[in-house]
Amino acid sequence: MVIGRTSERSPARVGETFGRSVRLSEAEIRAFAISVHDFNPLHHDHDVAREAGYPGLIASGTQIGSHLMALTATHFATPLADGTARNGLGMGFDIRFRAVVLAHEDIDMRWTVTSVDRKEKLSGWITLLEGEARSQRGVLLSATGALLLRLGALEPRNGGPGGTAART
């Protein structure tokens, strides 16, 4: 792999940074935990969370991890500055939990592209990233990610956004 190898027409550049902020309400924490069948009482019961030493409910680690991973999909679905469409597919993420995520806490999520490597066999670029989620308390989660990026728009199929469901 050639670290940092990019071309003028690649879908990402080394050093490219993107992010967003999120604040999770108690209702969102409970709803997400239920949706993924995470019934740890720390995500549902104030008394249990307080007895465990927390000020209130804490989010499931998978919740903030999901937000962080989704950020890559949204970012690389956005066209380049010159209007060139791009798309990506997550190949893998390594997530390390550093601290709990509290309800009503402002969380800043950021990714930085660390490597872009053209792979002709895959008709795209393997793109590596480093990311984190942090609050004023410090780092909550650190992550690395690998994506396959391509130039060009995806064609919606089978009822996806803008697509038509197949009829039987």
Give the per-residue pLDDT at 148. 97
Give mean pLDDT, residues 99-111.
97
pLDDT at residue 161 greater than cutoff 80? no
Residue 103 within a domain: yes
Identify the CATH number of the domain in which residue 107 sits: 3.10.129.10
Largest CA distance in the chain: 56
**CB-CB contact of 71 with 111 (8 Å):** yes
Residue 38 within a domain: no
Give the per-residue pLDDT at 156. 67
Place 154 in a pLDDT band, splitting at 50, 70 and 90.
Answer: confident
Residue 44 within a domain: no
Give mean pLDDT, residues 98-107.
96
Q: Read off the pLDDT of residues 41-59 as tens digits, 9 standing for 90 and up.
A: 999 999 999 999 999 999 9
Give the per-residue pLDDT at 71. 97
| 157 or 19, higher pLDDT | 19
Give the per-residue pLDDT at 153. 78
Residues with Cβ < 8 Å from 58, sequence gap 6 or more? 29, 42, 43, 49, 100, 101, 102, 103
Residue 55 within a domain: no
For the chain, the domain total comes to: 1
Residue 145 within a domain: yes
Give mean pLDDT, residues 120-142.
97
Q: Which residues form the domain of 123?
A: 17-23+60-151
Residue 163 within a domain: no
pTM for this predicted structure: 0.84
